[in-house]
Amino acid sequence: MGNKLKGRDLIKLGFPKNNSINIALGQINRYHKKVNKNKILAEAKEVLLHPEKYKDSGIWGKVVEGLIDPVEVKMHQLNSKRAPFTIYGENEIDDQAKEQLYNALKLPVTVAGSLMPDAHVGYGLPIGGVLATDNAVIPYAVGVDIGCRMSLSIFDIPATFFKGREHQLKGYLLEHTQFGMGKSHLKSNDHEIFEREEFSTIQMVKRLKDKAYKQLGSSGSGNHFVEFGEVTIQDENNEWNLPKGSYLGLLSHSGSRGLGANIAKHYTYLATKQCPLPKQVQHLAWLDINTHDGREYWMAMNLAGDYAKACHDDIHYRIAKALHKKPVARIENHHNFAWKQTVNNKECIVHRKGATPASKGELGIIPGSMTAPGFIVRGLGNQESLQSASHGAGRLFSRRKCKETFTKSEIKKQLADHGVTLIGGGIDEAPMAYKDINKVMANQQELVEVVGMFTPKIVRMDK
C-alpha cells in the first residue's frame, strides 16, 4: 500500500462513510505528516475501538466527535427581529458600525448586544461592539488581537520628575521596548505562562510556543504603544491609598502578538466551515462551546489573553528595573476577549471587541490619543451595556483617510502644542485620527466613574 493515507484505508478499518473520514484525514494531514502510515493506522484503530479514551486528545478529539456526536453543517438564517440592545453616544457613531451591530443582533445565538460611544467599523462585529450569545463563541467577535489590553503602573514618584529627565526616560523606552513584526528583545525573560498545558495539548498552539517565547515583552504595530505620562489621582478613596496628586506613570497597550493572531485565524476558519452564514454576517461564524473546536478555542483564547498579560508584565518589569522603583499600583484590563457572564439570569458568552469590562467596582483604563488624556475608571455595573464601557476614544478617520488628509508637519505641531515627545508612530496614528475623548466620556457617565487621569508625555510606537 502507498505511503499516503487515504480515506479508503480508514474505511477498511471500520470508519463509517461520513464526515468523520474527512475530519480524520484533515487532522492527520495537519499534525501527523511525519508519522509512519502503519503507526497512524494502528492509532486510528484504537480510536475506533475506544473513542472515549481519545475524547480530549489534541489530534484525535475532533475525530472522536465526528464518530459519536458529529456536528451538523447547515446554512443558518438570520432572525427577523433583533435581540435587545443599547447604543451609547449614538449621534457620534457612523451608520455602518450601527448596521454591523444590527446584523449581529439577528444571529440565532444572540441574546443581547450593546455599542460603546467610541464605536467604529470592524470586521464582523464593529469595534466597540459587545455581544452576548447563548452557548456560542465567535472568534471574530473577540478579534484577531486576542487579549489586547491596557496596563498602567503608577510609581511613587512625583510628576515633577519629568523636568530635565526627558532624555533619560526616552532612553528607557528605546532600550527596553520592542515594536512590530518579527521584533523581540535580545534576551528573553522566562515566564510561568510557558509551563501551561495548552502549549502541549493543543497541537496548533504547540507549534507557536517558540515564537511566543521570543516575542514575550514586545508590542505590535498600529495603535500599540508604551508611554510615560503624568497620573493624576482625583479620588481620595482609591484602592491604593494614594493621596490626591500627580505621579509618574507607565501605560502600555498591546495584545497577544503572533500567538493570538494565529489562534484567531485557525479557529475563524474552522467556524466558517462548520457554521455557514449569509454573506453580510459570514465573519460572525461561531463555534458551539460544547464541541471539540469550541472547547479548544476557549482554552486557546484564554491562553492568548494570559500571554498578553505576561507581555505587559515583562514590559513593566523591564522599565521599573531601569527606574530602580517598584510600582505602588497597577491597573489593567482586556478589551478584545470573551467572558462567561450572567445576562438576564442566564449564563452567556459576552464578547467585547474593543470594549472595557465595567462590572460594579471593576477598574480599567480608557486611553485618549497621544495628545489627549486617558482615564482611570471604576465600573458601575450597568446591565444595559452588558457591564461594558468604551476602550478608547475611537477612530474618526480610517488609516487610509489619515494618510490622505494629514501631514507629518501637522502632527509635529500637535505634539509640540501638547508637550509630547513621540518615538516612531506613523501618519495613520495622528492624534487628529481620533474622536474627542471628553465627548466619549460624557456619553458613558452611566457606565463608569472617573478615578484618575493619565496625560501622555513620552510616547513610543512602531516605525
pLDDT, tens digit (0-9, with 9 covering 90-100), for 406-447: 999 999 999 999 999 999 999 999 999 999 999 999 999 999
Of 67 and 126, the one with more pLDDT: 126
416-422: long-range pairs with CB below 8 Å, 24+ = 417/371, 418/371, 419/457, 420/370, 420/371, 420/456, 420/457, 420/458, 420/459, 421/166, 421/170, 421/457, 421/458, 421/459, 422/370, 422/459, 422/461
Domains (ranges, CATH) in the chain? 7-68 (no CATH), 149-460 (3.90.1860.10)
The H or E element that residue 458 is part of is: strand 448-460
Q: Which residues contact 28 (CB under 8 A, 6 or more apart)?
A: 5, 40, 59
Residue 179 pLDDT greater than 50, yes or no: yes
238 SS3 class: coil
**Which of 63-77, 110-124, 200-214, 254-268 comes out lowest in average pLDDT?**
63-77
Closest CA to 14 of 41, 38, 52, 35: 41
Say how far residue 31 (Cα) sits from the centre of its chain. Answer: 26
For the record, the C-alpha cell of 139 comes out as 472568534
Distances (CA, A) of 317 to 80, 97, 187: 52, 38, 14
Residues above pLDDT 90, as percent of the chain: 84
Which pLDDT belongs to residue 1? Answer: 43
Which pLDDT belongs to residue 2? Answer: 53
Going 340 to 341 to 343 to 347, the CA torsion angle's sign is positive
Which pLDDT belongs to residue 422? Answer: 97
Contact 217, 314 (CB under 8 A): yes
Which pLDDT belongs to residue 325? Answer: 97
Q: How far apart are CA 416 and CA 412, in angstroms?
A: 6
- Tell me the pairing of strands 149-158 and 329-334: antiparallel
Of 360 and 186, the one with more pLDDT: 360
Residue 24 pLDDT greater than 60, yes or no: yes
Residue 153 pLDDT greater than 60, yes or no: yes
In this prediction, residues 273-290 reach a mean pLDDT of 94
Q: How far apart are CA 182 and CA 108, in angstroms?
A: 40
pTM above 0.85, yes or no: yes
What is the band of 84 on the pLDDT scale with cuts at 50, 70, 90?
very high
Q: Which residues contact 180 (CB under 8 A, 6 or more apart)?
A: 220, 221, 462, 463
pLDDT digits (tens, 9 = 90+) for 314-341: 999 999 999 999 999 999 999 999 999 9
Lookup result for grid cell 450597568:
382
Say how far residue 200 (Cα) sits from the centre of its chain. Answer: 22
For the record, the C-alpha cell of 336 comes out as 478584545
Q: How far apart are CA 145 and CA 335, in angstroms?
A: 10
234 SS3 class: coil
Closest CA to 218 of 309, 315, 143, 322: 315
Q: Which residues contact 334 (CB under 8 A, 6 or more apart)?
A: 147, 148, 149, 305, 308, 352, 357
Residue 25 pLDDT greater than 90, yes or no: no
Contact 260, 384 (CB under 8 A): no
What is the band of 55 on the pLDDT scale with cuts at 50, 70, 90?
confident
Residue 344 pLDDT greater than 50, yes or no: yes
In this prediction, residues 151-162 reach a mean pLDDT of 97
Lookup result for grid cell 441574546:
111
Cα angle 28, 31, 33; round to 5:
70
In this prediction, residues 271-282 reach a mean pLDDT of 93
What is the band of 385 on the pLDDT scale with cuts at 50, 70, 90?
very high
**Which of 62-66, 345-349, 449-453 comes out lowest in average pLDDT?**
62-66
Q: How far apart are CA 379 and CA 313, in angstroms?
A: 23
Which pLDDT belongs to residue 174? Answer: 97
Which pLDDT belongs to residue 251? Answer: 98
What is the distance between the terminal CA atoms of the chain, rounded to a whole angstrom?
A: 55
Q: How far apart are CA 153 and CA 267, in angstroms?
A: 34
Q: How far apart are CA 250 and CA 312, in angstroms?
A: 11
Residue 62 pLDDT greater than 90, yes or no: no
Give the mean pLDDT of the chain: 94
